[in-house]
Amino acid sequence: MKMADGSTILRRNRPGTKAKDFCRWPDEPLDEMDSTLAVQQYIQQLIKRDPSNVDLILTMPEAQDEGVWKYEHLRQFCMELNGLAVRLQTNCFPASCTQMTATEQWIFLCAAHKTPKECPAIDYTRHTLDGAACLLNSNKYFPSRVSIKESSVTKLSSVCRRVYRIFSHAYFHHRRIFDEFEAETFLCHRFTHFVTKYNLMSKENLIVPINEEENSTPGESEA
C-alpha cells in the first residue's frame, strides 16, 4: 500500500518488533486488499480496532459472498478460542473436570472418536478445536477462500455447535477465566451474535447468558 507521499507501507511485523507495536499500521479498505485472504485480514482489522464493537465486526460488506463471510468468521473464532483453551489448561484438569459439562445439567459427548463418548473437558476442548481446524482447512470442502459451495457452508453449523461448548464449560465451571478472557476479547459475545444472526445454532442451545433470554434444558447431547 502506498501513502500520499509515495512511501510504501509494508504490513509486516519485523523481527524485533515489540508486542505493543504488533500490527500497528493504518487500516485498509476491503476493496483495496489485493489478496485471497482479504476477508480474513479485514475481519482481523476490525477486531484489532475495537473488539467490543460486535455489530461493526459482523456487518458484512456489500457484494461480499455470505458463505465466505461466515466461513472466515468461524475460522477466526477457532483461532481466538485457542487463547481460551490455553488459559483453561491452568485450571481445568482431567481429574477435576472428568466430563465436558455446562452446569450439572449438560454433558457433551466428544466426536473425535469412532463412536462419540465422554472425554475430560480439557481433552474435549483440544479435540474439538483440532477437529474444527482440520475441517476448515480441508481442501475437499473448502478449497478456496473466495468462493465456497453451499454444501460446504452447511457444515459450519455443526462446528459452531461444538466449539460453543467450550464457552459454556468455561462460563459455568471456570468463571474467573471466562470473565477475564471475555473482558479482553468479547469473543463469546461476538460468537453468540454471529450464530444468532446467521441461524447457525438454535436459541435453546445458547446457554451462556449473553443475550437477554437465557434458555437451558437439562439433558445429554451427542456430538
Q: Convert the pLDDT of each residue in 120-141 to its tens digit.
A: 999 999 999 999 999 999 999 9
Overall CATH class of domain 68-221: mainly alpha
**End-to-end CA gap in the chain:** 45
Q: Convert the pLDDT of each residue in 143-158 to its tens digit.
A: 988 889 999 999 999 9
Q: What is the pTM of this model?
A: 0.83
> CA angle 117-123-124, nearest 5°?
55
Q: Convert the pLDDT of each residue in 95-117 to its tens digit.
A: 999 999 997 788 899 988 888 89
Supply the DSSP string of 120-178, one letter for each residue.
-HHHHHHHHHHHHHHHHT-TTT---SS---HHHHTTHHHHHHHHHHHHHHHHHH-HHHH
Regarding beta strands 219-221 and 100-102, do their DSSP bridges make them parallel or antiparallel, or are they unpaired?
unpaired
pLDDT of amino acid 15:
82
Distance of alpha carbon 82 from alpha carbon 128, whole angstroms: 11
| Secondary element (H or E) of residue 221 | strand 219-221
Helix axes 156-173, 66-88, angle to 10 degrees: 30
Distance of alpha carbon 6 from alpha carbon 19, whole angstroms: 28
pLDDT of amino acid 183:
96
Residue 211: pLDDT band (50, 70, 90) is low
DSSP state at residue 25 = S
- Here the cell at position 191 is 460468537
